[in-house]
A and B are shown apart, each in its own frame.
Chain A
């Protein structure tokens, strides 16, 4: 509690300018925060810690705007290579111009600073549907973020996959940064085969993934435990079970039973519940479903959504492969053109050399050899098409296929579970 209050202090001090910073008493800052004041020092980012508040805000924003994709700003701070994301806010999709966007962000951050929220931007978030988020504009935005703060490497993009979070019952949140190799190449805007090979940039290392941890404050922990087993819920359950005809009670009872599942002391149902249950509860909270929150992981997905999702994914993969082939053709075409031109140039040089040799044999003065620049002018070699699109395409394919490969395990597990359930239920008793 005290800690987080102090966390916001040095940042605001930094932002208020030098005069205040000079008078700022560094001795009052805890040791582990001292590194924040050291602006010049840079340490590679190794971990992203996200507060549940930020996650919930991202999830809510993405869900409410589904299926259109949204983005927003992340707030927090970086300490010793650990980036703490403590808050986030949505950026309206309606904003058209770049200036509007910046204005909005500046205004929002100004307002949030007044209530002591960490006011430094540490990156942005983007929602995605199928996982093929590697698009040019996205990389460009991230490149601009990383270019804006090269010394303090505090800018990361969080990718949240709404569909996956909902259907697999497992939060899909990944943190990425652009690799140095990509940034170097993007600076010159040159993505030729040679450059790629020189820098060692392949589809796998355009982005660097950082591990994401969820950090919960003590008060939030209290809240979470209350959400998992709300106080007085058993009382509520009892009452609603006793008057099942009352308005809304049935549904509520069902919900409570869903949440609490069947406990060890199931017999503490309707009539006997009031006697023993309440005294049992606080001492044995583990008797209840320890994680009543998510059952989505068990969804068999034989309904409408999941096969549709899979087929959509496959369609996207198909499209990407088509595009890939097209680009490969383009490249081969260019290569052939380049080869032809080179061949003609070589022939020309050879012919020139031959005539020269003949002239020398006849005792005449040799003609000067054609200069390189002249040759270049005569035989124009088209520049190699940028390999960036191909690279991103490949990266997307890689992401998608990896996702599908990873979903195979759970899918097979669920299938065999269903089989054994079916076997046991159809077996004659």
Chain B
């Protein structure tokens, strides 16, 4: 089994030093890398990190794994799309990362999704691991020619939240040593494509359900809930507008602008034209519904007849 042994310089033995010197060369090269400036994170990444943390070995305190994603052509914008777990063993003196597993998993991912490359790594825990700089050095070599992104999630919930952080390494100091690394925060945004939103919505619904699991709801129920919320929102806006009009609340120009935009969105359609549109559309829907019902009735009859025969 090929293991990546990373030692802190203070306890580094002779062979490790040899490794470190080659790492130093690549670190020197990494200073010339294009720095990442913006991160986009796909929610599935966060969920898989949490899942990995939940399934860690008993004595383990933190988990690490590889982040996969795509980059813009100039490498400044990173989109983290998926991730996989990498087993590692941490002691006071050294850290071992299972390279064989990392390589195998990446190859497997590559076959299913050819576009995604290694863009960085993740770790859980309240603070950065003391080996973070060393791992960062390894991943920046994997992610070359671009710099690696480090995603940290505070699964200890020390300050009451997950505190998702995106970091990038910058080498500091005169000599380029991999352990001389400064982690700088990186702005990130979460991405919600429409299909994922509906999945997250379903998950959020179950999270609110008392027993922690809820059935999926039908389209009609979903629509009903959304309309209820829309009404509530309109109610809030109306209350606000009323209170401003009556002089109770201070008017805010920015909110005013948003309200204007909102009203401008409502298309101005001639009443006559609207009623024609409405009628034709209604007729279309009813027609389609009638035809489909007819087809269903036919199917049913055919089925019953078959049993008689």
Contact = CB atoms under 8 A, between A and B. Distances in A.
Nearest to B256: A269
Contacts of A4: 54-55
Contact of A5 (B55, B157, B198, B202): B55
A413 interface: yes
A414 interface: yes
Nearest to A403: B292
Interface residues on B, range: 35 or more
B53 interface: yes
Given A59-B195, A219-B53, A412-B285, A295 B226 contact: yes
14 contacts: A107-B104, A114-B98, A173-B216, A203-B299, A213-B216, A291-B201, A291-B226, A298-B230, A401-B293, A406-B219, A415-B281, A415-B285, A422-B269, A422-B271
A278 to B, nearest CB: 15
A242 B226 CA distance: 31
Nearest to A297: B226
Interface stretch (B20-28, B131-139, B141-149, B207-215): B207-215
Interface size class of A (residues with CB under 8 A): 35 or more
A415 B279 CA distance: 10
A62 interface: yes
B101 to A, nearest CB: 6
Interface stretch (B2-10, B11-19, B38-46, B171-179): B38-46
Looking at A64, A107, A297, the one whose CB has the most chain B CB atoms below 10 A away is A297
A397 B295 contact: yes
A266 interface: yes
A214 B190 CA distance: 22
A297 B219 contact: yes
Given A104-B108, A415-B278, A114 B195 contact: no
Interface in B105-132: 105, 108, 111-113
A355 interface: no
Nearest to B44: A56
A402 B213 CA distance: 27
A16 interface: no
A410 B105 contact: no
Interface string A175-188: 00000000000000
Given A64-B113, A114-B87, A193 B218 contact: no
Contacts, number: 311
A293 to B, nearest CB: 4
A168 interface: yes
Contacts of B200: 52, 56, 224, 227, 293
B303 interface: yes
Contact of A116 (B57, B108, B197, B219): B57
Given A294-B198, A415-B285, A211 B55 contact: no
A211 B215 contact: yes
B245 to A, nearest CB: 13
Given A196-B306, A219-B53, A224 B203 contact: yes
Contacts of A62: 195
Contacts of B233: 261-262, 289
Given A115-B87, A293-B197, A171 B216 contact: yes
Nearest to B98: A114
B44 to A, nearest CB: 4
Nearest to A232: B161
A406 B269 CA distance: 29
Counting from the closest, the 8 A-B pairs by CB-CB distance are A269-B252, A52-B203, A56-B44, A115-B85, A116-B55, A170-B222, A214-B206, A401-B292
Given A169-B194, A226-B164, 5 more contacts: A57-B44, A214-B213, A219-B54, A293-B198, A298-B223
B249 interface: yes
Interface stretch (A89-97, A139-147, A341-349): A89-97
B274 interface: yes
Interface string A267-286: 10111100000000000000
B269 A219 contact: no
Q: Which of B47, B161, B306 has the most CB of A within 10 A?
A: B47
A202 B112 contact: no
A360 B89 CA distance: 100
Given A56-B44, A111-B108, A203 B303 contact: yes
A223 B162 CA distance: 7
Given A59-B195, A214-B216, A410-B220, A266 B288 contact: no
A407 interface: yes
Contact of A60 (B82, B201, B236, B252): B82
Contacts of B229: 289-291
Interface in A406-429: 406-415, 417-419, 421-422, 425-426
B192 A293 contact: yes
A408 B289 contact: yes
Given A111-B105, A224-B207, A415-B282, A8 B55 contact: yes
B299 A397 contact: yes
B205 interface: yes
Contacts of A296: 194, 197-198
A314 B223 CA distance: 23
Contact of B196 (A63, A117, A401, A418): A63
A404 interface: yes
Nearest to B155: A219
A228 B161 CA distance: 13
B33 interface: no
A323 interface: no
A291 B281 CA distance: 30
Contact of B55 (A115, A223, A227): A115
B265 to A, nearest CB: 11
Contacts of A241: 254
A413 B223 contact: yes
Contacts of B296: 398, 401-402, 405
Interface string A46-77: 00010111011101101110000000000000
